[in-house]
Structure formats: structure tokens, C-alpha cells
């Protein structure tokens, strides 16, 4: 097989692999929005079947030869960054996802269906004992899956890399240690300051239809194109899916004013990242952005670094006051402080911007302890509660408030939680780099001009899709490896002003 034929094989596999990803996104969207609960088990089997088919793309002889060829090929001999990117991403998939035997994927789907049902029952009865056996099975299966990918590495290492290409547990551990200590310290200072931020304005009743109009206005205001997505769904846990290069759909939730606004901005951020790849990048099947931490960095950028900034509301507050007249009695500063109020919570999805990062850190530490054999399943609730008490000074009173609070473990999401907090670190570093080249970006936002912000993010991140590895993309955008300091500095600066902290 000559070089040209190998590139052709590579392009075919990447294209078909992308089709399966798109199909998976469509199925997921349907599962979260419309699928009748009673059909869940059938759906899980079907998803397992298609995951297996996707894996099979990598299993024939021609593809194996292609992989062997490119593994020994000097990337410098490839003509373009796009080809290099395609080879790198192909080899990454070949060495990770494609190594999972199809029967393990089928087993995983069946187990997930069972675990979700048991989680629901355990959650409703607040009884961890009902969930414990299947949770143990889930971790055992994840261990087997990780071993099938790479038997020589600790399972957590393999799972983390499968979630965020190239990340190492050692790096996450170090960065999380620094971030955790920094946040706990800042939280202590805020508590001892004893300032009570008045957020009563956020709890007044509101018209849901008006909120729907407002969040649409905000998402479009930051650049989310309505013709390339939809505002169709309202769900308990908002999500977004990237189905095609011009099709990124977002959902939201209108239970509270605050949740409606910020979850929409979050999902719009995911959407923008997915949609803004260059035409060449689409042509090489590398659109959609890096999953995991990189995607979270973009969503959380629009949600917090932009959406919870004072400048954002300098521009949008009059519109909010128009939508909800009770805000006419509330000045901008009061509103700004209210949406940034630090309120440690037992639940991740209710967390404020400061303490949010601690929730995934706790989950990461516990998962690592399980995989490293440093805890057993009987002790998990106690370990969970101890960590909440240590970092957030809150102790869950029962399992439902504690480790049964969400369905993620039951849904098979193990070894991926670190992405949320890593996304914050990326975001802090991007903000720092952006301010160096576009120092007036926040002033522009205050006057309703999101062009400089979107141009910077598109130029440095969005347009490249998966062409560069996450580490390379970060280095190209910021000139550095991932640091905890930029995000911590951003938090310190922000909360010092809000809570009038001493130097």
C-alpha cells in the first residue's frame, strides 16, 4: 500500500468514525429529551451495538497496516498541519477507544441501564446500600476496559487520557492540589469577613415565557447562531450536542432565573466552540472541538468569565430590567454581587463560581482512591462526607445529599469528572492571554461588542478543532503549559472586590 492509499484509508476511517459520533450525539439528545423511560434498556443495547461498530472500523487489516505505517512515520514529512492533526488523532483513537473489545462495550451498555435504574431507586430512598453492588461492578468493568486499552498503566491514567487526550493523573493531581488549597484559603477569608451579599432579587417570582425570550436574546447576543442550532429542549440537567459541523444544539432549564441564564450561556459556549471550525478542519473530520476539559473551558468561559462579569451586565442589565420590572428597584452592582454570591453547596450543579471547582476535585480524589485500592466501597459515603466537610465545611446528612446526588456514576461517567475543573484552569489561562493582546476586551463587552472576544477565541481555539493536541493548542494560544495560578488570580481579584477582602 503506498502513501496515497494510506492517507485515503485514514480519511475514510476518520469520516466514518465521525458519522458514528454524530449518530451517538443524536441518540443522546433523544435519550435526554424524549425517550420514554421504559425504552431505556433497548436504547442502551442499541447504543452499545453502534459503539461496537465504530470500534470495528479500526479492526481490519488495512487499518492496522495504516496505523503501523503512521506510527513509524516522521510527522515532519506530512505536508500540512491538518494532515499531521488527522494522523495524530487517528493514532490516538487507535490506541485508546479502538482497543476496547466490542463485548466490553455491550457489557458496559447493559450495566449502565441496570445501574441507572438502581441509582434512581437508591437516590429516592436515600439508601447507598441499594446502589453499592452495581457501583462496584461499574468500577470493575471500567478497570477491565482500561486494562484492555493499556495493561501497563494504572486504570485512572488510561481513563483520564481517554477523556482528555494527553493529560496525566500526576499533572491533574498537582494542579488540583494547588487549586484546592487556594480556593479553600479564599473561602476561609470570605467567611471570616462576614459580609452578607444580598441576593433576594434573584428569588422573586418571574414569568417563564419572558425568561425564555431573555436567554435566547443573551445567547444570540454573545454570538450563538440560532439558525445552526435550536432552543428546543428544557431538561433537568442542561446539555448540548454537536451533531454536525453546522449543527450544535443546546438545551436549558427555566427553574430559576439564575440557572436559566447561566446554563444557557454555558451551553451556548459549547455550541460556539463546536460550530466555529474552519472549512479545512471540517474537511479533515476534525471539527467539533476537543471533548472534555477543552470543551468545558469554552462553556465555562461564556458562563462565568464573560457572563458573570460586571461588563456583561453593564450591557444586558437594562434588557433584564425590561423583562422583569422588579429589577428596576435593584441597582447593577447589587445584581452583579448577587450572581456572584459565594454559597457553598452540597450539590455541584448548585455551586457558585468559586466553590464549583471543589466538587469535581472531590470526585477525582475519590475515584483515584478507589482505583488505587486505597478505599473500599463500604467506606465511600463516609469518605465523600469527610471531604465535603474538610473543603466546603458542609456535611451531607444522608446519601441522597452525598454521593447519590447525581446519576453520573450510574451512567458510567467514571474517570472524567476532572475535566470540569480542568476547564476552569484552561479558561483562566485563556483569559490572561487574551487580556495581553486585547486589553480592552471587557470594555468592548460593556458596549455590547462581542466581536473582539469571539475573534480571539475563534482564532486561537475554535477554528482549529482537533488539529493540534490539547497541549499544543494551549501552548500556541497562551505560550505556556497548564497552570493553576491564572485561574486562582482571577478568582482572588474578583472576590476581593466583591467581598472587600483585605490585602
Q: Which is nearer to Zn ion, 301 or 468 (CB)?
A: 301
**Of 143 and 299, CB closest to Zn ion:** 299
Distance CA 420, CA 359 (A): 9
- Least distance to Zn ion, CB of residue 299, Å: 4
The cell for 300 is 465555562
- In sign, the C-alpha dihedral spanning 19, 21, 23, 29 is negative
Distance, in Å, from the CA atom of 146 to the CA atom of 154, rounded to the nearest integer, reads 8
Query: How would you label 458-492 residue by residue, b for 16+ Cβ within 10 Å and e otherwise?
Result: bebbbbbbbbbbbeebbeebbeeebbbbbbbebbb
- Nearest CA to 417 out of 163, 125, 174 is that of 163
What CA–CA distance (Å, rounded) separates 167 from 349?
25
**Inter-CA distances, 181 with 240, 355, 361, 472, 494, Å:** 32, 12, 11, 28, 17
Closest CB to Zn ion among residues 253, 299: 299
Shortest reach from residue 295's CB to Zn ion, in Å: 7
Contacts of 228 (CB under 8 A, 6+ apart): 246, 247, 248, 271, 275
The minimum distance between CB 50 and Zn ion, in angstroms, equals 23
Residues engaged in binding Zn ion (CB under 5 A): 299
- Calculate the dihedral angle through the C-alpha atoms of 386, 389, 395, 399, rounding to the nearest 10 degrees: -30
249 bridge partner residues: 241
Q: Which of 157, 267, 296, 365 is flagged as catalytic? A: 267
**Nearer to Zn ion (CB atom), residue 6 or residue 462:** 462
Strand locations in 226-306 (E): 233-234, 240-244, 247-252
Q: Is the CB of 276 or the CB of 299 nearer to Zn ion?
A: 299
Cα dihedral 349, 119, 293, 371 sign: positive
Residue with grid cell 457501583, as numbered in its chain: 135
* Cβ(442)–Cβ(391) below 8 Å: no
Buried b / exposed e across 337-363, counting CB within 10 Å, b at 16+?
Answer: bbbbbbebebebebbbbbbbbbbbbbb
Q: 212-251 burial, b if ≥16 CB within 10 A, otherwise e?
A: bebbbebbebbbbeeebbebebeeeebbbbbbbbebbbbb
Nearer Cβ to Zn ion (299/309): 299
Nearest to Zn ion of 51, 304 (CB atom): 304
Closest CA to 421 of 354, 492, 350: 354
Say if strands 233-234 and 247-252 run parallel, antiparallel, or are unpaired.
parallel
The cell numbers describing 114, all together, are: 441496570
| Minimum separation from the CB atom of position 421 to Zn ion (A) | 12
Least distance to Zn ion, CB of residue 448, Å = 25
Minimum CB distance to Zn ion smaller for 47 or for 299: 299
Nearer Cβ to Zn ion (299/429): 299
Show the beta-strand stretches assigned E in 245-336: 247-252
DSSP of 93-106, one letter per residue? HHHTGGGS-HHHHH
Please report how close the Cβ of residue 363 comes to Zn ion at its closest, in angstroms.
15
CB of 270 to Zn ion, least distance (A): 6
Is 267 among the residues known to form the active site?
Answer: yes
The least distance separating Zn ion from the CB of residue 266, rounded to whole angstroms, comes to: 6
Q: Min. distance of Cβ 460 from Zn ion in angstroms? A: 20
**Would you name the residues annotated as active-site residues?**
267
Amino acid at each position: 500500500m503506498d502513501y496515497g492509499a494510506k492517507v485515503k484509508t485514514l480519511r475514510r476511517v476518520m469520516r466514518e468514525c465521525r458519522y458514528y459520533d454524530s449518530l451517538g450525539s443524536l441518540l443522546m439528545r433523544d435519550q435526554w429529551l424524549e425517550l420514554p423511560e421504559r425504552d431505556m434498556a433497548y436504547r442502551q443495547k442499541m447504543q452499545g451495538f453502534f459503539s461496537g461498530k465504530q470500534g470495528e472500523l479500526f479492526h481490519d487489516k488495512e487499518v492496522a497496516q495504516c496505523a503501523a505505517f503512521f506510527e513509524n512515520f516522521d510527522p515532519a514529512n506530512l505536508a500540512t498541519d491538518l494532515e499531521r492533526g488527522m494522523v495524530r488523532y487517528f493514532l490516538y483513537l487507535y490506541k485508546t477507544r479502538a482497543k476496547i473489545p466490542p463485548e466490553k462495550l455491550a457489557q458496559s451498555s447493559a450495566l449502565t441501564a441496570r445501574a441507572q435504574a438502581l441509582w434512581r431507586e437508591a437516590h429516592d430512598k436515600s439508601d447507598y446500600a441499594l446502589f453499592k453492588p452495581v457501583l462496584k461492578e461499574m468500577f470493575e468493568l471500567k478497570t477491565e476496559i482500561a486494562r484492555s486499552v493499556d495493561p501497563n498503566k494504572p486504570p485512572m491514567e488510561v481513563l483520564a487520557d481517554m477523556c482528555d487526550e494527553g493529560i496525566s493523573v500526576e499533572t491533574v493531581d498537582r494542579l488540583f492540589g494547588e487549586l484546592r488549597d487556594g480556593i479553600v484559603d479564599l473561602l476561609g477569608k470570605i467567611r471570616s469577613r462576614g459580609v452578607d451579599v444580598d441576593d433576594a432579587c434573584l428569588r422573586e417570582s418571574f414569568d417563564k415565557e419572558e425568561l425564555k425570550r431573555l436567554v435566547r436574546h443573551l445567547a444570540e447576543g454573545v454570538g450563538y447562531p440560532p439558525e445552526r442550532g435550536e432552543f428546543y429542549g428544557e431538561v433537568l440537567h442542561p446539555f448540548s450536542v454537536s451533531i454536525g459541523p453546522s449543527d450544535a444544539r443546546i438545551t436549558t432549564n427555566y427553574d430559576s432565573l439564575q440557572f436559566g441564564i447561566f446554563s444557557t450561556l454555558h451551553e451556548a459556549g459549547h455550541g460556539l466552540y463546536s460550530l466555529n471550525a474552519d472549512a479545512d478542519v471540517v474537511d479533515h473530520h476534525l471539527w467539533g472541538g476537543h471533548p472534555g476539559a477543552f470543551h468545558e473551558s469554552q462553556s465555562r468561559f461564556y458562563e462565568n468569565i464573560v457572563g458573570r462579569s460586571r461588563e456583561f451586565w453593564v450591557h444586558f442589565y437594562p434588557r433584564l430590567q425590561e423583562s422583569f420590572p422588579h429589577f428596576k428597584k435593584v441597582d447593577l452592582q447589587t445584581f452583579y454581587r448577587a450572581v456572584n454570591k459565594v454559597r457553598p453547596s452540597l450539590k455541584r450543579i448548585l455551586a457558585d463560581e468559586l466553590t464549583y471547582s471543589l466538587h469535581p476535585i472531590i470526585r477525582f480524589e475519590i475515584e483515584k482512591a478507589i482505583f488505587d485500592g486505597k478505599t473500599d466501597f463500604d467506606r465511600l459515603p463516609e469518605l465523600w462526607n469527610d471531604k465535603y466537610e474538610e473543603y466546603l465545611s458542609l456535611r451531607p446528612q444522608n446519601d441522597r445529599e452525598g454521593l447519590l446526588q447525581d446519576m453520573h456514576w450510574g451512567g458510567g461517567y467514571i474517570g472524567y469528572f476532572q475535566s470540569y475543573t480542568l476547564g476552569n484552569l484552561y479558561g483562566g489561562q485563556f483569559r490572561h492571554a487574551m487580556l495581553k493582546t486585547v486589553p480592552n476586551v471587557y470594555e468592548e463587552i460593556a458596549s455590547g461588542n462581542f466581536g473582539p472576544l469571539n475573534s480571539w477565541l475563534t482564532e486561537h481555539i475554535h477554528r482549529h478543532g482537533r488539529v493540534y493536541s490539547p497541549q499544543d493548542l494551549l501552548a500556541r494560544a497562551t505560550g505556556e503549559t497548564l497552570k493553576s495560578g491564572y485561574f486562582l488570580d482571577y478568582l482572588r481579584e474578583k472576590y476581593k472586590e466583591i467581598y472587600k477582602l483585605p490585602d
